Amino acid sequence: FTSSRNGGLSDKIDGRTGEAFSDVWYSRIDKKGSWSRPSVMPEPINTEGNEGPLHVNMRGTVMYLTQCKVEKKKNLGCGICVSERKGKTWGPTQILQLDVDDNTNLGHPALSDDEKTLFFSSDLPGGYGGKDLWVSVKEKRNLWSTPINLGPLVNTPGDEMFPFIASDGNLYFASD
């Protein structure tokens, strides 16, 4: 899960929220059903920038996460990155290969159970508002189709974010 709680990797403050940058954290459940105290994940999953919503595949071996780069008070944008788990450790993050302009912000990945359909939030040109929900289909290993906007039945002049695909196939999301 992501959180801006104290103890994260960065001490930088997010100008939009007034809180610390968010990081990816984890907790484990024991045999009695009790959760352990949350721990922050190390690099490369967390960076000095903001880490946002993430999705871990059904096998727990691939993580899609939002990473936002910052440099000396400059917001360099957000992208969807992928990390593969090798044993107990997560490997380096690689930017998801989507056919989009370098200046486009992408985030909030939600992957179908078969790992072939990716929903995400973005400010891609051609949308209906600030941030819209888009979909891309896996064509080959690490290669995704050109994103398609989900249209006006989903997207509004405002922001649509945080997509989630339920096990029954329903898409849930936040909208302002």
Q: Cβ–Cβ contacts within 10 Å for residue 8, how many?
A: 21
Beta-carbon contacts of 83 under 8 Å, excluding residues fewer than 6 positions away, are 44, 45, 62, 63, 65, 90, 91, 92, 93, 94
pLDDT for res 74: 63
Over residues 19-65, the pLDDT tens digits come to 889 999 999 999 999 999 999 998 889 998 889 899 999 999 999 99
What percentage of residues in the chain have a pLDDT greater than 90? 69
158 phi, psi to nearest 5 deg: -90, -145
Arithmetic mean of pLDDT, 108-122: 95
Q: Give residue 80's pLDDT band: very low, low, confident or very high (50, 70, 90).
A: very high
Q: What torsion do the CA atoms of 164, 115, 134, 70 make, to the nearest 10 degrees?
A: 80
